[in-house]
DNA sequence: GAGTGGTCTAGACCACCCC
DNA sequence: GGGTGGTCTAGACCACTCG
């Protein structure tokens, strides 16, 4: 009798994928660098090219690698393009996607609150760094944003001058700290603008805002960033494709 | 000189996929029925099994067919499961997904408004059928919903008794009218409850609501249904996965 | 046991990129 | 021209389902 809940067998290409992801996570191939060719990898693992190919195809679907015909396979880089299409879902009424500018209000360290510990699964007393900023689209303040990361993962972040906190954070996290955000979940609600939000966004208190609660995960599926964004949806909307 | 904008070449498996989708759209294989085996299809098109397999894999990703090892490949059926996971994104604060009940308020025909013509790309004067309903979760009214479909696609819908307008409409559209909803886009905004919405949802006028504007497309990517849902997000949230 | 989809292999050829 | 990923084939074997 075998345990019916245990996996009966694991396809080779999944095992290969696991091994490749592990090497990727260990930074053996830094973002943007080329992986060995499919044939070389296949020889290394002593499997056929088709098996490696299937593993890479799965990894490409998860945005872990990029492949270009005639060039090779590359460790994914967190480009602005990717921030825009994978992570930023606000579009203007004219159906244009555009990355917002940021005005950083504060960037400080502290001790994780219960809510932060819960979201990021941290121990009591863990130090965290918090960023507050307002993001603008077409010159209008549209998003009031507040995010938390564990300080240990991003040392020194809290002591940067506010002007030197970059706009596209995930690109920065990757380049500066080797932390790759590859996946996220979002929870959306309608809320009423608080006094602070009203002031930051230039709207009346109580104006309906779209609150986005995001948890961002790294390549090992560990929570890395918790973010709350309050969006003024008078001239923009949150776009989602159901497929 | 070839036109650089024209496709240089089309992979075989894509051509096969196009042919299979066409046969599926023509109702040659009604929802739930079995397609011929991969080997039979391959012989029919005079290609290898691997090529048919690649076409079917792509179709499975688009929820057009379901494949089960040892059983066969089946034309996709619009199950409640699918309504729940692909199309219904509200979850309770306890992180439970559950399909809502519906109380139909009205179901009538009329002439398409400018907004409806625009959303569904209809000609002026086209008859449409509109349904208004309130949807409940855990006994609480949570969604005020209003949707429009072209009458020609769903004849007789407008003259059904209100109690006989089914809860899971996409399942019904498919079973009764042969219209398969396979894809949709949603636009989300925060709005303030109008008098009507406040009454239907049992909230105060001006309460922030999550407005979801959905356009649902059929297998040929033609717009079929336009739906506006106003959700009370005090005890539920809209869930989205970014990958 | 017969039939189905799923995996794996090996090899050929094609489209693309860069030197 | 040589290297890369992308397609296509043919055949073997495995895992699952059903009668």
Domain residue limits, chain A:
12-75, 80-238
The pLDDT of residue A6 is above 90: no
B115 CB closer than 7 A to any strand C atom: no
DSSP chain B: ---TTS-S---HHHHHHHHHHHHHHTTSS-TTPBPPPHHHHHHHHTS-HHHHHHHHHHHHHTTSEEEETTTEEEE----HHHIIIII--EEETT--B-PPEEEEEEEEEEEPPHHHHHHHT--TT-EEEEEEEEEEETTEEEEEEEEEEEGGGSTTGGGS-GGGS-SSHHHHHHHHH-PPEEEEEEEEEEEE--HHHHHHHT--TT-EEEEEEEEEEETTS-EEEEEEEEE--SSEEEEEEE-
Query: Would you state the pLDDT for residue B235?
Result: 97
* Least confident stretch, A3-12, A72-81, A131-140, B195-204: A3-12
- By C1' distance from the Cα of B71, the closest nucleotide is C4
End-to-end CA distance of chain B: 40
Instruction: Give, for A160, the enclosing helix (H) or strand (E).
Output: none
Q: Say how far B118 CA is from C7 C1', in Å.
A: 48
What's the pLDDT band for A8 if we cut at 50, 70, 90? low
- Would you tell me the crossing angle of helices A38-45 and A49-61 to the nearest 10 degrees? 120
Helix (H, G, I), strand (E, B) or coil at A99: coil
Rounded mean pLDDT of A71-95? 95
Residue with tokens 């408004």: B113
Closest CA to B89 of B143, B165, B35: B143
Q: Alpha-carbon distance A107 to A35, whole Å?
A: 36
B63/A243 CB distance under 8 A = yes
Nearest chain B residue to A233 by CA distance is: B189
Asked if the A80-238 domain carries CATH number 3.90.226.10, the reply is: no
Which of A210, A239, A243 shows the shortest C-beta gap to B190?
A210
> Which CATH number does the domain A12-75 belong to among 2.130.10.10, 1.20.120.430, 3.10.129.10, 1.10.10.10?
1.10.10.10
Query: Would you state the pLDDT for residue B8?
Result: 57
Q: Alpha-carbon distance A31 to A218, whole Å?
A: 14
The pLDDT of residue A238 is above 90: yes
List, for residues B105-146, the tens digit of each pLDDT value: 999 999 999 999 999 999 999 999 999 999 999 999 999 999
A242/B208 CB distance under 8 A = no
Nearest chain A residue to B187 by CA distance is: A239
B40 CB closer than 7 A to any strand C atom: yes
Helix (H, G, I), strand (E, B) or coil at A232: coil
B242/A62 CB distance under 8 A = no
Which portions of chain B are predicted below pLDDT 50? 1-6
The pLDDT of residue A4 is above 80: no
| Chain B interface mutation, best of A76, A85, A95, A190, highest count of B Cβ atoms under 10 Å | A190
List, for residues A155-199, the tens digit of each pLDDT value: 999 999 999 999 999 999 999 999 999 999 999 999 999 999 999
Nearest chain B residue to A62 by CA distance is: B243
């Amino acid at each position: 009798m075998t345990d019916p809940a245990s996996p009966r067998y694991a396809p080779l290409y999944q095992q290969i994928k696991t091994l490749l992801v592990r090497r990727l996570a260990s930074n053996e191939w830094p973002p943007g660098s080329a992986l060995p060719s499919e044939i070389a990898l296949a020889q290394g693992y002593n499997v056929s090219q088709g098996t490696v190919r299937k593993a890479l195809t799965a990894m490409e679907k998860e945005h872990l690698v990029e492949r270009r015909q005639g060039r090779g396979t590359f460790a994914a880089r967190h480009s602005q393009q990717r921030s825009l299409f994978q992570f930023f879902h606000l579009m203007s009424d004219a159906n244009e996607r555009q990355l917002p500018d940021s005005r950083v209000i504060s960037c400080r360290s502290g001790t994780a609150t219960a809510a932060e510990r819960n979201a990021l699964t941290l121990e009591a007393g863990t130090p965290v760094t918090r960023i507050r900023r307002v993001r603008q689209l077409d010159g209008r303040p549209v998003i009031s944003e507040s995010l938390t990361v564990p300080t240990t993962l991003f040392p020194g972040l809290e002591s940067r001058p506010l002007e030197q906190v970059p706009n596209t954070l995930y690109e920065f996290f990757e380049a500066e700290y080797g932390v790759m955000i590859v996946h996220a979940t979002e929870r959306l609600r309608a809320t009423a603008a608080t006094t602070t939000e009203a002031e930051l966004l230039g709207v009346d208190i109580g104006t309906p805002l779209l609150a986005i609660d995001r948890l961002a995960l790294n390549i090992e599926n560990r929570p890395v960033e918790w973010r709350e964004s309050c969006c003024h949806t008078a001239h923009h909307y949150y776009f989602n494709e159901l497929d």
